[in-house]
């Protein structure tokens, strides 16, 4: 069972919409976050990171920059 004190949200600042930063802790199974950005979860030891996607698409620009840098 995940300790709620060890759950951390990573989310973009100044995004187009606010992110939902509360988890739902079901009696059975993994906690989840009902944010519209469809965040992904990463377990890091005893910690759970909830990594939110941006609403403004800034990851796309980051991915393109990485691809272009790797082609050099």
pLDDT, tens digit, for every residue of 24-58?
888 787 788 999 999 999 988 888 999 999 999 88
Residue recorded with tokens 């377990």: 43
Q: Give the span between the Cα atoms of 37 and 32, in whole angstroms.
A: 13
The helix/strand/coil state of 51 is: strand
Sign of torsion over alpha carbons 9, 39, 33, 20? positive
pLDDT, tens digit, for every residue of 10-25?
999 999 999 999 888 8
The helix/strand/coil state of 58 is: helix
Q: Is 72 a residue whose pLDDT tops 70?
A: no
Q: Is 1 a residue whose pLDDT tops 80?
A: no
Q: Give the span between the Cα atoms of 67 and 44, in whole angstroms.
A: 27
**Which is it for strands 7-10 and 47-51: parallel, antiparallel or unpaired?**
parallel
pLDDT number for residue 64:
86
């Amino acid at each position: 069972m995940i300790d709620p004190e060890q759950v951390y949200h990573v989310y973009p600042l100044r995004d187009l919409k606010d992110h939902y930063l509360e988890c739902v802790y079901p009696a059975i199974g993994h906690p989840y976050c009902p944010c519209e950005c469809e965040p992904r979860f990463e377990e890091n030891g005893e910690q759970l990171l909830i990594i939110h996607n941006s609403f403004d698409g800034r990851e796309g620009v980051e991915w393109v920059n990485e691809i272009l840098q790797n082609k050099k």
